[in-house]
Structure 1
Amino acid sequence: MRHPAQAVVLAFLLADVVGTALLMLPPARTGAGGADPLTALFTSTSAVCVTGLSTVDTPHYWSTFGQLVILALIQVGGFGIMTLASLLTIVVWRRLGLRSRLTAAAETKALGPGEVRRVLKGVLLITVSCELVVAACLTLRFALGYDEGWGRASYLGAFHAVSAFNNAGFALYSDNLVGFVGDPWICMPIALAVIAGGLGFPVWLEVLRHRRRWRQWSLHTTMTVGATAVLLVLGTVLITVGEWNNPATLGSMDAPGRVLAGFFHAVMPRTAGFNSIDYGDVAGGTLLITCILMFIGGGSAGTAGGIKVTTFVLLFWAILAEVRGERDVEAHGRRIDERAVRQALTVALLSVGAVSTATVVLTELTEHALDAIFFEVVSAFATVGLSTGITADLPGPAQLVLVALMFLGRLGPVTLVSALALRERGHLYRLPEGRPLIG
């Protein structure tokens, strides 16, 4: 029987291929003929991997049909191919076999196979509820604040709500959301939707279950919520201060507008590619801070990318335990399993390797500055979608590298490696212990 991780990879590949084929159809674009294969592949991969990078102007290049295809790919990618497959299994067979339960648990990061059925229902409820609320808020603002017709306002509201909750970052404006940089009625609903989608479904299910008893939260939920709050506050402060006097970004705005923009751009690297300022004009320090936030990403089993905040926090606690000379890694009154620490280290190092390799390759393929290339690579791998504006200028081979990075970043290094393994291998013996010199 096929390994669950292999099924995840094949499912995403199938969605990507179908999306590419649909976007190559003549009705999918506004001009004559269909999109070329590379443009269709790049856009499809970016949508199904909920990234947001694009080599073309989304509102002008793609027709309404093409935009709806992108929207569907975003929803499918954010919801999770294996989650949808498990839901179909419930509908058709009214039950999940053990193998299917384990497969769904691997994709949704459920606490146990027995909880998968409840998780799937909760995922659907949370997704639909959040997207409907955000879509309603945005629709009202577009209609009443920008004189859009109710039909157009509803379309804009629904598209950006789905794109935000799924951390995709696709927008129906050529400058993304730069035109709304000082509008809290547009920026705040989108930012809150990004946070909601990026926390992860298990976190939301537990928060709703114990909404008045936060002390009963699991270690995973405590770490995810706590780290998210800390990173949002730090990101807001650092980005706002760094761009406060930059006339090309925040310098020309009033104080509340600067804080709003700073908060918005502390949220987006978590990982949605919306932007209300031009990243081509930001300071070098802001680019570096954004890269760090993008690489960390959001919560596990959510719509965010990156190495995930739990991985980052686990490594922090492991370093702290080693510095203190403690034998066990402990956090929030719990001892962390050694396998979890090894998994976190593996994910982090494989991710660093992927980003480093891609940066070197793109440096050889393009003439762009290293900081812009590095920013683009991290954005693609972390499935963020932010860019300094070089995406469309990259040659075909460089765009294919980004396609591979988006796919790898969405599935995760460990999942991809596991998918290539035919079976797990165990040893019936242990070798003598060795201790090489470190440092």
Structure 2
Amino acid sequence: MLGFGGTFAPTASAAGTLISQSRPVLASSLESANFPAGAIVDGDPTTRWASVQNSDPQWIQIDLGAGATISQVELDWEVAYASAYQLQTSNDGTTWTSIYSTTTSTGGNQVLNVTGAGRYLRVYGTARGTQYGYSLYEVKVYGTATSSTAGYVFANPPVTGVVPSTYNPPHAYFHEFQAQCSANHVLPDDPIVFPNQPGASHLHTFLGNTSTNAATTVPSLQAATSTCFAPLDKSGYWMPTVLNGTTQIIPVGTQTIYYKTGVNDYTSVRPFPVGLRFLVGSPAATATQFATDPGYVAGWECGDTYNSIDIPVTCAAGSQLEIRYQAPSCWDGIHLDTPDHKSHMAYPVNGVCPPDHPVAVPMIEFKMAFPVSGDMSQVHLSSGRGFSFHYDFYNGWDPATLAGMVTHCINGGLQCDDTGYDQSQPQKGAVLNSQGYLL
């Protein structure tokens, strides 16, 4: 059904609820970083998105986060407007349905009463009204959410208006720091995948926060203690338990959890928001999926055995079984969690975050060692074969402490230990004292 243009302001009764504010936005192109896609939903009438010049078609789309019934769309065009465009909706971001079309637009402020439904709303420009590109100050979508938002946890406030950095800073060999954390309990719980369902998961070995269980929340993490060197790293870290037959094999002593840059521009990495949580890898992965996952580093190792996709059948006596695995390091800026516990995170592409996950955050790398060797024929994970390895992260860092480590070590291009000290550059000092607190 076609809508119509106008210059009147929408009323609450006609428009429904504003459902586009601060939602993720993706555009076909940007004129420059000064005109980001997210400007159209930031509520600021002075910021705008602009496409590249002299190119048709161009588009910009809003992810409403869930299915919605759309009743009205307000467009506030800059001087560079579209003379011909469509409003389109989609449930999957791939197949689109037009709910409004015009070839005689004159730009300005347009309030369009429409009838449509979908998770995504796209403005699809086919003809420019000027010699410039397309430019919008705001796109406001009004309607009613029709699908459940269960499983979505929203950041408050969201991080919008970020453009993935393509800057190449001065070369640094390292841009990382360590978190040294020990294992402290084993439970058949997973507070991310099975929240408030104790016993619903395979066994997990938990490191860091001593309270992590099925009922874990941000307040419960903050109220508990940690077995990490930095007492204010109250994050929950967990992975499937290693078993030799029925005997649990628990890592001995502290294990190294690296916080690194995953993008070329290490100066653009910012701290995790409190409460961010995600799953790395998959307990259902096949051997091929495990070995080709972006997080795969070197597989399983022990003694002289390296790069094994499954747990080796034998390991040299006295050696340890080891695994390294890397997490995605690009965040959508909107969600602390999503129903699949992955979609709000993404891996960089050629060292740059993708446009729909523009916020660079630390790349976590697990480096775990298990004291088992010799005959490994009965060694397996609680989740299955070795290629089912995965891990979970639930951020409980004290914001000031994490920010200090990220700024000094990652943004500063240093190779820091767990105090934020780079022994090759001692003149730059540390971040934490010998008790693990900010200096």
Give the TM-score normalised by structure 2. 0.23
Which structure carries more strand by proportion? Answer: 2
Which structure carries more helix by proportion? Answer: 1
Larger radius of gyration: 2
